[in-house]
Structure 1
Amino acid sequence: MGRTEYYNDPNAPKANTLIPASNLLVVDGSGAILLQRRRDTGQWALPGGAQDIGETAAECAVRECLEETGIVAEITGFLGVYTNPRHIVAYTDGEIRQQYEDTYIGRLVGGEPTVNDEADGVRFVQSADLDQYDIHPSMCRQIGDHLAGTSPHLG
């Protein structure tokens, strides 16, 4: 399913759903941050996705991280709640989502960076190298908040 992202775009379509999603900002022993390159947009992002019925937001973040990157992580903190009615994601099936994400901080426990059907690149990136990657502005904000130590973000 294809998707188009709109960020502060006055011509974005109106949202018709609000789906709870969770991200996990995983940091390895050297301080590098885990990123995945999304196949649907080509941009680098934190691992994350929609919460399933029957799981907590934190469980969702850990599950999505493993599914999308091959990395096993545990949660060590909470970065914040990121909601932006001007960040719209339109899917080819007609669903148009308003962005809503709980973002957790985690540490590497095991696994190896692994590509899959959602991500064609997975790696740990040092903060000094982040500007070399095409990262969506919403993810840049979350990473920036982490690097600045300004958590939790509430809104």
Structure 2
Amino acid sequence: MGRIEYYDDPKAPKANTLIPASNLLVVNEDGGILFQRRRDTGQWALPGGAQDIGETPAECAVRECLEETGIIAEVTGFLGVYSNPKHIVAYTDGEIRQQYEATYIGRPIGGDFTVNEEADAVRYLLPEDLGGYDIHPSMIQQMEDYLGGSYPYLG
């Protein structure tokens, strides 16, 4: 399913859904942050996705991390809830979603990088290297909050 992201764009369509989703900001022992490059947008992002019925937001974050990157991780903290009415994602099936993400902090405990239908690359990026990558503004906000120590963020 294709998608178009709008961020603070007055031409964005009006949202018709709000779906709970979770991200996992995984930090390795060298301080690298786990990112995946999304096939649908080409941008680098934290692993994450929609929560399934029957799982907690933290379980969702761990599952999505494994599915999208191949990395098994455990939750070590909570960064915040990110829901910006000006961040809209329009899908080809007619769903127009307002961003809603609970972002957790974690550490890797196993697994190996894998690519799949959602991500065509996976790697750890050092904070000082983030400026050299195409990262969506919503992810940049989360990185800035984490790196600046200003969490939990409940905005």
Normalised to the residue count of structure 1, the TM-score between the two structures is: 0.99
Quote how far apart the aligned CAs of 1:20 are: 0.2
CA distance in 2, matches of 1:112, 1:146: 24
Aligned residue runs from structure 1 range 50-89, under 5 A: 50-89=50-89
Q: Is the partner of 1:30 in helix, strand or coil?
A: coil
Q: CA offsets per residue over residues 32-81 of structure 1, 9 Å max, x none?
A: 00000000000000000000000000000000000000000000000000
Structure 2: gaps spanning 5 or more residues: none
| Mapped pair 1:121 → 2:121 | yes
CA RMSD of aligned residues (A): 0.4
Aligned residue runs from structure 1 range 4-15, under 5 A: 4-15=4-15
Q: CA offsets per residue over residues 72-97 of structure 1, 9 Å max, x none?
A: 00000000000100000000000000
Aligned residue runs from structure 1 range 99-118, under 5 A: 99-118=99-118
Q: Determine the structure 2 residue equivalent to 1:23.
A: 23
**How many residues end up aligned between the 2 structures?**
155
CA distance in 1, matches of 2:28, 2:84: 29
Q: CA offsets per residue over residues 105-137 of structure 1, 9 Å max, x none?
A: 000101111111100010001111111100000
Q: Determine the structure 1 residue equivalent to 2:96.
A: 96
CA distance in 1, matches of 2:63, 2:152: 22
CA distance in 1, matches of 2:143, 2:67: 21
Query: What letter corresponds to residue 109 of structure 1 in structure 2?
Result: I
Structure 1: gaps spanning 5 or more residues: none
In the TM superposition, structure 1's runs of 4+ consecutive aligned residues that sit over 2 Å from their partners are none
Query: What letter corresponds to residue 76 of structure 2 in structure 1?
Result: T
CA distance in 1, matches of 2:70, 2:133: 20
% identity of equivalent residues: 77
Q: Is the partner of 1:85 in helix, strand or coil?
A: coil
Normalised to the residue count of structure 2, the TM-score between the two structures is: 0.99
CA distance in 1, matches of 2:133, 2:111: 23
